[in-house]
Chains A and B, each alone.
Chain A
Amino acid sequence: MDRSISWKRFFRQWGAFIILGGGVVLGILYFYLQNPIITEAVLASAVRQATPLVLGAMCGLMGERAGIINIGIEGQMLLSAFVGYLVNAWTGNLLVAVFVGVATGAVLGLLLAFMSVTLKVDQIIGGTVINIIAVGLTGYFYQAGLTTKGKLAPIALGKLAELPIIGRALFNNPPITYAAIILVFVLHYVLFYTKWGLRTRAVGEHPRAADTVGVNVYRVRYINVILGGAIAGLAGVFLTLEAVGSFERLMTNGRGFVALAVMIFGKWSPLGSWGAALLFGMTSAIQTQIQFAGVLDIPHQFIGMLPYLLTIVVLAGVVGRSRPPAADGIPYEKE
């Protein structure tokens, strides 16, 4: 990103976000002073809940930054979760399972790219096709009772893990959660500070302009959508191999769609999406705490709605205006 962005412009875009974030941090400090153990537990849970969301959001934004809307994230996550889980159940190997799961996501990304870039199918329909394929395949081949052989376990990073407040949340996580955090920074760098990122954003804003300076629009779109699919695949295997340890029908439970809200909330940027995902993760974690503690005497279904309510509020555009890439969703015709 050109460092010339003035403070005013920066604040117009991120002001609401920063104020909200500041409020949340103050809230956390307040609760930490009240009850450090529960607060740390909520934070740690928030980070893990955020993992599939931020991964899904990064999948979405890679596509949309290049001009391809991906509403098939849910399906990519679901099928990858299932395939990763099956591979692990058969081979007993976690690493191979993760790898195959990620590859599954990438293949679905390739399918989406083929439909939307080459065939120029309406992208909403393309994404829906992927969701239907995933629900169909996982439902058909589902076997009850299988469990994974082992789960990806947390790795504490020495003294860092003992830091107050953030230690447990950030430095005592299983591998995919770490990977997600690292990916956030890597992708942010790639998108805003490298040649590839500049070209990707140009292709998403004004593909013909990119074409006229010799950028291969189709190639940029393919690669971004495929890599995005791989990231969604990582989110999928997170669910089966790191979080739960088995597969259930429709276990993604709308996370692929919530990820889109996270992406929009995060203004199509990896760092912003991470912030948004943490907020969503936090509502999930708090929601669980409320249910456990039984402090509020309302049916748990209502409390369970919290993250989805937040999604609606975000999509209704309450938290600042965000502008999608200008060529988002529009197939590119060369002549």
Chain B
Amino acid sequence: MTSKYKGWKEIAPAGVCSKSSRTFLTGDWKTYTPILDLEKCIRCLICVMFCPDGAIIWVPDKKDIEFDMSFCKGCGICANECPTKAIEMKLE
């Protein structure tokens, strides 16, 4: 915790978490990185549904999915569930 934030003794009894966790990057936890083969991907978005970390996003303008490596924890769920085996987990 940085000094900018009050400690638990100073905050009101009902503390308020005010900062979005989207500013807390969990991407450096991973040891494996998902690599997507766009040729094999059929845009079914199964990986988007199952990623526990919201690290795969559907970009309507591009009509494609994108991985957000700043949140991916490298769990491998996307690779395991992909019906066309378009995602491969590579050791960082």
Q: Do A and B bind each other?
A: no
Binding site for A on B (CB under 8 A): none
Binding site for B on A (CB under 8 A): none
